[in-house]
Structure 1
Amino acid sequence: MHSPPWVPTLLYHGPESVRVAKRREVKECVCVEGCPLPVHPVVITSYEVVIRDARVLSQHPWRYVCVDEGHRLKNHKCRLTKSLNTFPPTNRLLLTGTPLQNSLAELWALLNFLMPDIFDSLDVFESWFDVSEMVGERSNQRIIQQEREGQVISTLMKILSPFFLRRMKKDVNLNIPPKRELLVYTPMTPQQITLYTATLTYDHHLFSTLKNKEEKENVEYDVNGRPKRKNRREVDFSLFLQSGKKAEVEEEEVEEEEEEEKLRDFFRASLREKRECFFSPPAPKTSHVRVKLQNKMMQLRRVVNHPYLVNYPLNEDESLKVDEGIVQSCGKMQVLDQLLEALYNKGHRVLLFSQMTTLLDILEDYLSLRPHYRYRRLDGSRSLEERQSDIRDFNAEHSRDFLFLLSTRAGGLGVNLASADTVIIYDSDWNPQCDLQAQDRCHRIGQNNPVLVLRLITASSIDERIVERAASKRKLEKLIIQSGKFQAASQRERDFKKCSPRRSLPYSLTAVT
């Protein structure tokens, strides 16, 4: 952060002992040359320190509260928002490139922080502007129709305009080369299809069982509308009773010997399994399995990203089996392998983003099979010193690094990698702004080459659903934040098409390579 030389600044950070010593400096006025009155310093701090010291800092009569990365306040119930709301609401300023990411509720949270007296009710705000039908499929005509009838977007823009000052790259002569994005659709391998189908059919079998049960069950109701209890069937409980006598039964008879034999078989099988479990020597492990069916959606994402995220094969010594199976078992990896080879031969430098650090581990295993690809890695486990060192070395003038592996959330903000000219998004984020921020790590000031963004999508899978949902969120953001007013119908249609991906590629990579 750079400030004019006449503005006194104070960095309020560090351990508690250091912060306690600086609290006196926060309250002290400083004499500035050319200014007739002493002034308080501009205090610079972090979100974490604000949360820790909110009780002390809120007692100071601040004249202005400025929050960088303002979208951190999109949840009006988060601790940071609650802490900042204890500060005097004299003047407030938010700096953000993404005021609207997922819903109008997030936009309202920012407005509520800026003007709590005006935007005091989320329910009222959402009742003013119902855009639920404007972000789904086939929504373009509904948008135009609603705008003609109710002028929802136009009214919303008029209300928001006094609170927004928006500057975009195209509004400033930054001399940044163009950026284009291509969708690269990849197939699933037989192994992925098997795992994907198994994950899906787990729920389908459950639902079909429940449905069949519901259809077969003929429920009768009494005069009060409650289901009638059915008479108990005759069941032989002799295996559970020490006396061996049959329990009293009503009506329907069952064949005694057949039921007893079924129960005996069941208990024999159960005892056999437990005996084998406790007394049989353990067999050597052949794979490292990660299966958690509590979250089916995450399991599906693991399968399409790489089957080794679910079932990683092992060697005889139970070490991970790192061989060409990493490539052959995954459709995305097969395509990525071809892409990297073509990009490497043409002298490009690549940023490869993924949501999962476990996938970055697999990518590192793959890169051990391609030792000529020099690479670096950045994720949330890296220290600040390691990050700065890797970024500096990657951006060095004569750097031989070809690839930078980054986790989307950790490497999507505050990182300048303009020396790269290609971005590969291995798996898309539900929030499109995260992927856009990741792309801006190289499409920024200092970039001298056109930037190519390649987004890998597994065809006919959850990947397509994620991309479609992200496109809907982008459409909402374009409608409310970027559109000043509606143009002619033909122009509107062209604007809406811009919300969709410009171009997509099938499994063939001829157009890229």
Structure 2
Amino acid sequence: PASRPAGVEAPPVAADSSPTPAESPAAESTGGPTLVLCPTSLLGNWEREFARFAPEIPVRRFHGGSRHLDDLAPDEVVLATYGVLRRDRETLSEVDWGLVAADEAQHVKNPLSATAKELRKVPARAKVALTGTPVENRLTELWSIVDWTTPGLLGPLDRFRRTVARPIERDRDKEVTERLAATVRPFLLRRRKSDPDIAPELPPKTETDRFVPLTAEQTTLYEAVVRENLAEIRESQGIKRRGQVLQLLTELKQICNHPAQFLKEPHGALAGRSGKLGAFEELLDVILDEGESVLVFSQYVQLCRLLERRLKERGLPTEVLSGDSSPSKRQDMVDRFQAGEIPVFLLSLKAGGVGLNLTRATHVIHYDRWWNPAVEDQATDRAYRIGQDRPVQVHRLIAEGTLEERIAEVLEKKRGLAESIVGAGEDWITELSDDALADLVRLGSG
């Protein structure tokens, strides 16, 4: 798609050279269906990009318990994750794909990994790899990606290590470096936001909505809370009704964040229970691998503490700034972040959303949504402010098919309207009719 759903700068692309432009699947209506592989957190983004730029093309997800490839149309696009690839590679291999695209292709940077091995077994007439980090640590990562898109171009892996990777990485051999660049250049398309000929009007702040699916546990909790609360709300009026609506919204937002927050499990297991947490960790890995620093905002201090515990489990240094932080502690954390000692800074929206200069950050993650976009913008401006000399990327995590997705649509429409419309926080939601409220919080797309 023209606007790619990724948390990195516009990516280099490696493509199979075998078809000429006139022969490529993109140029033939009979080229066969397309398979797009991506992290789970990007499934919704890809779906929306196709709906926006190519609404006539049928798109399906090959994901979840009911996934199938029955009645696949010749021009259909199938979206699948790398996890599904590992589990269902044999099923995917039964299709004669016209094109296979690997988004965030650094997921197959290890040629000996199960994901990379399974990917190589999927047949395709053409292949495209999308990534902003084709080389994160060593040149064999580039070999893995290029050898998938253009098999044999860089020779066998052992010979590549011996004659290319080692001379470049160990000896900084200029001649070998130039020869490698000349070899891969015809098969790489590199694009950066800073390139003057690419998008000169593109502002230095890029905002991305990342739609993530709920886990089975989240889905069960969400449906139960909606069912129980709507029954009570329909029987209530006035202040009592408004209070119950706010309680419903709070509980649903907590479920979307993580079941442990809603269930008040400060020491409960965290991994594998929340779609948002999984997407957050995937995004964080990309940001930290680039050597960047990130601000993470949530309106809930409890959620910040859960994230802090999860990051410490992974050995990642972090701090939490909340309303309980003393002025001296607050300044100490800011100074350490600005000095690069803390790459991940967790902040409660109200305590950390104003009055701080955190220009070390080039990424801002809004883990959950506030109903007034101006509050989010103010928090983002902790990084995107005078003194910031690098592009800032803003990521908003949105639970797909929930009230968060529908609120995101409302906020986008209302962002440019008068403050009086949504400036009162959640009050405008409490005044919705029973039917409108039920439609807002229902689970599912459409």
TM-score > 0.5, shorter chain as reference: no
Greater length-normalized contact order (CA 8 Å, ≥ 6 residues apart): 1
Q: TM-score under structure 1 normalisation?
A: 0.39
Q: TM-score under structure 2 normalisation?
A: 0.45
